[in-house]
Homo-oligomer: A and B are copies of this chain.
Amino acid sequence: MTEDARDEVDRLVAAWRTERPDLDVEPLQVLSRVSRLAKHLDRARRAAFAEHDLEPWEFDVLTALRRAGKPYELSPGALLRATLVTSGTMTNRIDRLAQARLVRRRPDPEDRRGVLVSLTDTGLARVDAAFDDLLRRERELLSGLEGTDRRALASLLRTLLAPFDSPH
């Protein structure tokens, strides 16, 4: 189950072993696959959202608001921390979402530097529909793994992610 299952990354690793036999390229077995899978995932997401007239970046912002619960309102700062983008990017995103009437901006009554961004009814409906769709596709994508394997995979990934979540 390991020796011959052969995917792109196995080929890539084999090529390295020929070209740089002095190096231990085993880390690629995990990390190249993570990168490649993420790339494919992006495409699948893009396809799922296209049916709801949403771009992946729009979805990211809308879901952050959706997850916050009523009244579906967060500051740009909270949004950029949730989506791992820079502040300039977030300003730009909010501008475009507001123009599309999916979110609304209002001054923060408690901090005059601040702004609060909230979902409109349209935004709420759109993100709920798109999320349903995304989950259906993700489930499909994971259908190659039994429940046990899925949980094991999740747990292993959590371990790798841990150093990034806590420090600083």
Q: How often does this chain occur in the complex, in copies? A: 2
Q: Which residues on the B side are within 8 Å of A135 (C-beta)?
A: 23-25, 27-28
Distance of A83 from chain B, by nearest CB (Å): 10
Interface size class for chain A?
Answer: 35 or more
**Binding site secondary structure of chain A:** helix
Q: Give chain A interface residues in 138-155, CB to chain B under 8 Å.
A: 138-139, 141-142, 144-145, 149-155
6 cross-chain pairs, A with B, having the tightest CB-CB distances, nearest first:
A38-B38, A27-B138, A33-B157, A29-B154, A15-B67, A153-B156
User: Can you report 11 A-B residue pairs in the complex whose CB atoms are below 8 A from each other?
Assistant: A2-B151, A12-B67, A15-B68, A27-B135, A30-B150, A31-B142, A33-B161, A37-B157, A37-B164, A38-B39, A40-B161
